Structure 1
Amino acid sequence: MGSITRGTTNPNRLRRCDRWIAGPQGWRLRRSGAPPVVVDLGYGASPITAVELHDRLRAVREDVHVVGIEIDPERVAAAKPLERDGLSFRRGGFEVPLDAGVRPTVVRAFNVLRQYAEDEVPAAWSLVQERLAPGGLLVDGTCDEIGRRAAWVAVDASGPVSLTLSLRMGGLERPSAVAERLPKALIHRNVPGEPVHAFLADLDHAWARSAPRASWGARQRFLAAVSEVRRSWPLLDGPARWRLGELTVDWAAVAPATAA
């Protein structure tokens, strides 16, 4: 279920999200009794992101099984030679077709829904939510072509729970540069009157006020800026993640103010 995407991808493009899944979300894999299943949904013209995801998550659970799912049969056929123990590919879409009785612990859908209309997002989320294992998570995200700017929404069985921004700090002019990579549920909401717009504006203002810290490097400047933002916004992580150019905010604080 779904539409064939443009399929653009690059090696190492999704490293920021992979690092987050293996880090703060790694407990979801570790607590699974059976070998956890992680889906790379809509991996695109190249299966490299699924291969990389498997490599990275094996450090968390050696028995993890990554399934690359694509709606384009030619892309699936091209990926088949790369199958190995713990990595497989199959055709499908948001219905997440797995073997009977198998439910995924994590479904990563990157640069997929951005090609849909905003009002199509809830139905796509709902389809995936129905397939998740107990305590499972859908990660709906978008990033630039080489993965230097990324943003993703974490969605569990109850609905969206958080928004994460992840930025390469070298050469960063202002944090709101990530706005053009917001997930489809938010990208059209970066306008005055919407919470996500206010959040990015506050982050930019804090970044500007932290300019004196730049003499110690962009990381120290970012840490100072996010520490300031934390006073007004419900951030769900701490300095260990901020040092990576990453911060996560409670979804309720940035959710769209009006219906699509």
Structure 2
Amino acid sequence: MSKKVIHRAHTRGHANHGWLNSHHTFSFASYYNPERMSFGLLRVLNDDVVAPGMGFGTHPHGNMEIISIPLKGSLAHRDSTGTQEVIRTNEVQIMSAGSGITHSEYNGSSTEPVNFLQIWVFPKKQDIQPRYGQKAFKPEDRQNRLQTVVSPEEQGDALWINQDAWFSLGSLKEGFSEVYTFHKEGNGLYAFVLDGEVEIDGEKLGKRDGMGISEASTVEIKASADAELLLMEVPMR
């Protein structure tokens, strides 16, 4: 029998700093909920809106896999590996902090806000050499299908991270139905609805709702309306 945990959008932690309006699915910064520390090795899922011209100044990370997905607008990135890039909608960025990295993230526009997901996953190996990756993904390749954007090793177009984790995006039309099969035994699946409505394992989820499923090998996904969906399969321990 599978285990489920549901996090409705309105139950997320919330911090509005003016320049930053952030919703936290899991405990982060001033939001602390002992029952919401992580889902397996998925530690952070932040839904951030950053005002034009504003951002996060240079700060350090270590031994964490960090994934950024812009949903609207662009993000300007600079880090201690010498990387300087702008990440836009339909692109995904990964950063293996490893033995230590410093970076800054700013809104890439002086006129429009940027909305992006910041996701942290605990790493498989400690103290690896810090690494940066970024790729553009064709939106047509996720129309009524699940497009893998992150995997444990380079598979097709996916970015790879230092963990047995798979991330997929889907732009699903009402009526879409598919059975998701786990890539690795012992993994769990966390679904995050970016927009629209879906039914996952019989549970109805709306915009910005999240749901974790573990102790399962397959999960049934249905779109009860047009929907944008992010799936994150991660080890549970």
So what's the TM-score if we normalise by structure 1?
0.29
Pick the structure with more strand per residue: 2
Larger radius of gyration: 1
Higher relative contact order (CA 8 A, sep 6+): 2
Higher relative helix content? 1
